[in-house]
Amino acid sequence: MEFKSKNPFLSNKSFAKGEANVYTADGRPVEIIDYNNTMTVQGAINKTFVLFALLLTGAGITWYMALMGQNPMTLTIAGAIIGLIMVIAAAFAPKQSQYLAPAYALFEGLFIGGISALFEGMYPGIVLKAVGSTFVTFFVCLALYRFGVVKVTEQFKSVVIASTLAIASFYLIAWILSFFGVGMFFYGNSLMSIGFSIFVIIIAALNLFMDFDMIEQGARQRNPKYMEWFGAMGLVITMVWLYIEFLRLLSKLQSRN
């Protein structure tokens, strides 16, 4: 709810956004920045923890259903669909990220829990390995970014974005062809399929650098506060993608034993 003062002094244009009412000794205006309303790295980190808590909550629901012998596939599929809708909505309306990001995390958690239970049933112990691999990759990438070993240049962004779009297009085509009974090579456990999974994991890991850079640049440019949710959501999306790809790779490796 917005409250507007009737006081003519407080409604003076000098209090309007973007106009300074403080001046230096030589008469130059000083821009006053309200850091409570601008994006910070710490704020994005805090919100990332909130999203992970919601993700784990959703995952716990479908995982518990599977543990109790119930079929969690309905909630799993619904979570995947609604989660995708939240991602698309946030891409077009970043200002609503404070609502869309938590919703995404909760519903995506339903998907993660159901898929994890399915893989765990086929390959006992695979979930713990996938989680460990995901977080090891995350911290390695964070260290490489923090110490400046990997720099996110415009060329870096172009290559990663192009590769990510290519993978997404490839998955979409494969999904459509599956309705006609056409199976793509990466569904099996061949060396080519394993190699493809490793390539996808590398691209997913490179997206982490993009996420780190987006959050840091957003804070440096003093983006609006809601961008903390947007940045945190992007980071969680990449982590989920990385986790799923590790599940796929590990399942291929274990099926060859």
Per residue in 164-216, pLDDT tens? 999 988 888 877 877 766 666 556 677 888 888 999 999 999 999 999 999 99
**Looking at the predicted structure, is the pLDDT value of residue 33 above 60?**
no
For residue 176, the enclosing domain spans 40-255
Q: Is residue 177 part of a domain?
A: yes
Query: Residue 190 gets which letter from DSSP?
Result: S
Share the mean pLDDT of the chain.
85
Amino acid at position 161, single letter:
I
User: Is the residue at 3 inside a domain?
Assistant: no
Q: What digits encode the pLDDT tens for the residues 235-256?
A: 999 999 999 999 999 999 888 7
Flag whether 103 is in a domain.
yes
Using the structure block, give the residue that is written with the tokens 């599929």.
77
Residue 17 lies in a domain: no
User: In this structure, is residue 98 part of a structural domain?
Assistant: yes
Asked whether residue 11 is domain-assigned, the answer is no
Q: Within a domain: residue 128?
A: yes
Whether the per-residue pLDDT at 21 is higher than 90: the answer is no
Report the C-alpha gap between 223 and 240 in whole angstroms: 25
- Determine, yes or no, domain membership for 56: yes
Sign of CA dihedral 130, 187, 195, 214: negative
Overall domain count for the chain: 1
Residue 225 has pLDDT above 70, yes or no: yes
The CA-CA-CA angle for residues 123, 204, 62, to 5°, reads 45
Name every residue whose Cβ is closer than 8 Å to that of residue 246 and which is 6 or more positions away in sequence: 129, 130, 133, 134, 201
